[in-house]
Amino acid sequence: MVNSRNARASLNLGMASLMALGLGACGSIGGFGLGGSQPAAVQEPAAPPELPATIRSEEIVGRWGLASYLNPSDRARTEKAAVAQCKNPYVIGAGPTGGVIMHLADQATPQELRLKGSQSGKNYIGPAGPIGEQDREIVSFDGRVMITRFVDKDAATRYGNMVYVRCAPRA
C-alpha cells in the first residue's frame, strides 16, 4: 500500500509538471516552444496631446510688479501694491524652446515652463506634460494684469492669488 501511495503522488506531480510545461508553451508553434510570435504586449493608452493655450508665451514675457492676495475683496488694493513693486520687477523671460522662464512654487531657481490649454478652456503655466500639481491656473489676463493661482492646494493657500501688473517700459 505504501508503494501505491508513492506512485500516485509521483504520478500527480508528473502530471502537474506536464500541464505547466504545456501552458508555458501556449502561443508558440505546435505548443512545443518551436518559435513563433510573441504574445501581444498590452499597450497603455496614449497620453492626450497637449492643448495649446489661448495666451501665447510672448504675451507674458516682460517685467511685472508682483503681489498676492487671499481675500477677493483685496484684489484692487493688491494690484496697486503690485504696481509699486515695479521698482524691483519680477522678470518673465522667453524660454529657449518657446516657453517662459518662471519659478515653480518653493523653487529658488527659475526654469522654462509651458503655457497649456485645457478642455475646459482654462490656461495654465507649468512644466511640460499634462496639467498637474506644479502648474498654476491663469485666472485672468487682459494684457496688463495677469492673475494666477497654483493648482496644488497647499501652494495655493501659501501664495494666494498672484497678481502680476505689467511695468511700464524703461525710458
Is the CB of residue 117 less than 8 Å from the CB of residue 53? yes
- The tens-digit pLDDT sequence of the chain (171 residues) is 555 555 455 545 555 554 444 545 555 444 444 555 555 666 665 555 678 999 999 999 999 999 999 999 999 999 999 999 999 999 999 999 999 999 999 999 999 999 999 999 999 999 999 999 999 999 999 999 999 999 999 999 999 999 999 998 764
Whole-number pLDDT of residue 8:
54
Residue 98, number of CB atoms within 10 A of its CB:
12
Is the CB of residue 138 less than 8 Å from the CB of residue 123? yes
Whole-number pLDDT of residue 140:
97
Whole-number pLDDT of residue 74:
97
36: cell is: 513563433
The residue extents of the domains of the chain are 2-31, 51-166
Best CA proximity match to 54, nearest among 118, 132, 131, 2: 118
Whole-number pLDDT of residue 160:
97
Whole-number pLDDT of residue 138:
98
Q: What are the distances in angstroms from CA 123 to CA 15, 39, 59, 74, 88? A: 63, 42, 13, 23, 27
* DSSP track, 122-158: -EEEESSSS--TT-EEEEEE-SSEEEEEESSHHHHHH
